[in-house]
Amino acid sequence: LNAEDIAEIKKTWAIPVATPTDSGAAILIRFFTKYPSNLEKFPFRDVPVAELNNSARFRAHCGRIIKTFDQSISQLGEEGGLEKIQDIWQGIASSHVQRHNIPKPSYFELREAIVEVLSEACNLNERQAEAWNKLLDIVYDIIFKKYDDLGAQ
Ligand code: HEM
């Protein structure tokens, strides 16, 4: 990521992070609507998608996803930031293998929902979409390397 990528990511991120739970909810509802099998992995699997916003456990998870991105984005451009970003996403990969049993393809499905919702919410131009895709490539690289280390698929 170059300085311009980082500036574009930070500038556009200000919009979804202002309402973190609602932004996370928009992403997850898109994710479950397009790829319903992912909902089966969650404790709120029996809640119909239209009612998810009333589930406290769902809302908590929405906030956590946004917080993970926020912690990473605040490290961009900082000294030692890349190591911290690595720690954050290796931790996500480990818990998602060991506790949640999430297979790699689910991440591609989630990525689609993230990019779609961000593009709409932030009205991303081409340059901004490119910066976000670079960040997601970095994050997904960290996740999948950890999956490989753990022998997970
Ligand atoms: C839990 C973040 C991708 C399913 C969590 C937690 C965080 C988190 C912070 C709670 C702490 C923990 O258990 O580690 C993220 C981020 C993701 C991601 C930042 C990638 C961008 C996914 C995907 C799935 C998934 C693709 C697939 C269905 C779950 C489940 C839980 C969980 C089932 C447990 C929820 C609960 O017990 O209420 N996630 N996650 N996550 N995640 Fe993810």
| Cα separation, 23 vs 29, whole angstroms | 10
CB atoms near residue 36 (< 10 Å): 11
3-class SS of residue 18 = coil
Query: Using one digit for the tens of pLDDT, what is the confidence trace for 123-133?
Result: 999 999 999 99
Which of 13, 96, 110, 133 has most ligand 1 atoms within 8 Å of its beta carbon, as the pocket-test mutant? 96
Check residue 96 and give its pLDDT.
97
Whole-complex ipTM: 0.97
Q: How confident is the model at residue 23 (pLDDT cuts 50, 70, 90)?
A: very high
C-alpha to C-alpha distances, 137 to 1, 49, 59, 61, 133, nearest whole angstrom: 10, 29, 26, 23, 6
Check residue 143 and give its pLDDT.
98
| Cα separation, 88 vs 17, whole angstroms | 18
Determine the atom of ligand 1 nearest the C-alpha atom of 89: 19
Q: How confident is the model at residue 57 (pLDDT cuts 50, 70, 90)?
A: very high
36 C-beta closer than 6 A to ligand 1: no
